[in-house]
Chain A
């Protein structure tokens, strides 16, 4: 491990922050709505592309991020209300349907934006490097790290200290009872779906600036998100955070030490955890 220095550690942490932003949306929808949304990777890619186009047109990174989140949240509504409603409660059909949608969206992105690699321009204030613990490090990646922490805190507060959060948690335990209390549970779930999707969009925007965007980026981010959720356990926010940290750091270690086989380094611990806890570190049986 001699070759692993502070910069690489920070690389791992910032990648973990991005993974958390994307995977938290995935785990929210999976854990709370019991929908495994395999479109999540494609939503990430769409968010990135839309954010890129808007940022290029307006010159504003913030506007791009907002556009990415809103448009992907809208895509989420279309997916949930337009398609998933027909297969509700058939878990397997739901998953496979979202997989079909992922294929369509990925191909659509290829038609609209082509097969080139894009890099989202970073805002002026976040360009360049800053000194941290004696080494120079890109400001933008530190921003991603802070954003990841903010998203974690925000989601934590939302789920545990707001009315919407209480409704979501109650709806997971007993949706019928919540409905009987006069609350439109479908609306609560739809809000969750939008929130989870918009996180994928945000991830696409943020990630697009340092990982770049290309036609297979959706599959790559999806497999990382899956690893995070499988390690952390579905629906668990701390699980997603720890899973993201593990996957992010391991991926960096893997890339430094075995550049061609980095995937195996992520996969080993995932397999080990599965062997002992098939539902993940924080997973509970449904």
Chain B
């Protein structure tokens, strides 16, 4: 176990490193690459929300992609169909995602392990079903087209930096949340729920708050995605969105938080690369999932860390 100061320093170094790497990126990349980098940042935030729940509360969610998509739908619906203000739309989208997460949480938090996963999966798929069928609002399979970004972030570079700033702020918030006393009690619940309960902790309430908070984060990512993609369809809320987010968290290493950036970069770069040659991305995603589960369930960072530890000792 690292001492407190060195842990704090390591985290600060990570965050500064991230800010520097992503901060200078626009200086050396083309506009296409910058849009890929924007996408990486947005999905890193989604992956972090899943990682927070999986790594610190011990609950694997397959519903966060749907929560993410709820925010995207609300933002685009508010701006394009209703013609409302984009800033209010962002706020409403995040609120809608947070509320969705709270409802999901009410049903899911009392279950653990596989049951939790199944319930979040089923709830997420209900969102997908509703988006697909509720044609009068969601546009059904055709989806909804947005009205473009507000003028201040219309320029891709500006939008990139705005995304970076938002993601970094929330990265800090998540990190603070995970290492707060509340975060510590979540870890306690992860390790032994019955013990925490007998110590007098309201474990279900803790879980509900944690779930809602991670839904809020996923909602922020989803709202950013609405600005980024300017289009939403049922594929934004479908299961593969949750699966991709979870795979990013796992590849980056569950419980590492910052690993989400590595996982997100790995998956999105690969997806962009593969899509140039074949339309078989879902199959490749599936194979990656199978491979990760069999060979590296602790992720790339986890596997590397294991390697370091072995060499050191």
Contacts and interface: CB of A to CB of B under 8 A. Distances in A.
Nearest to B112: A278
Identify whether the interface residues of A are mostly helix, strand, loop, or mixed. helix
A96 B130 contact: no
A127 interface: no
Contact of B118 (A36, A83, A260, A267): A36
B246 A104 contact: no
B135 interface: yes
Nearest to A105: B286
B283 interface: yes
A270 B120 CA distance: 12
A111 interface: yes
Interface residues of A, number: 45
A102 interface: yes
A102 B286 contact: yes
Which applies to chain B's interface (DSSP): helix, strand, loop or mixed?
A: helix
B122 A95 contact: no
B122 A96 contact: no
Counting chain B residues whose Cβ lies within 8 A of the other chain, the interface size class is 35 or more
A104 B284 CA distance: 7
B126 A263 contact: yes
B297 interface: yes
A93 B280 contact: no
B119 A100 contact: no
Interface stretch (A155-163, A173-181, A223-231): A223-231
Interface stretch (B103-111, B171-179, B212-220): B103-111
Nearest to B104: A271
A97 B114 CA distance: 13
B195 interface: no
A87 interface: yes
Q: Pick the most buried of B117, B133, B283, B293: most chain A CB atoms within 10 A of its CB.
A: B293
Given A260-B133, A262-B133, A96 B293 contact: yes
A83 B290 CA distance: 8
A274 B297 contact: no
B283 A107 contact: yes
B114 A95 contact: yes
A91 B114 contact: yes
A103 B283 contact: yes
A227 B122 contact: yes
A99 interface: yes
Contact of A103 (B117, B119, B125, B286): B286
A92 B287 contact: no
B111 A278 contact: yes
B102 to A, nearest CB: 13
Given A36-B118, A226-B118, A267-B126, A103 B294 contact: no
A108 interface: yes
Contacts of A262: 133
A143 interface: no
8 contacts: A38-B121, A83-B290, A93-B297, A100-B293, A219-B125, A263-B130, A274-B119, A278-B111
Given A103-B289, A271-B107, 19 more contacts: A83-B290, A91-B114, A100-B287, A100-B288, A100-B289, A101-B286, A103-B240, A107-B282, A111-B280, A219-B128, A226-B118, A227-B122, A263-B130, A264-B126, A264-B130, A267-B123, A274-B111, A278-B110, A278-B111
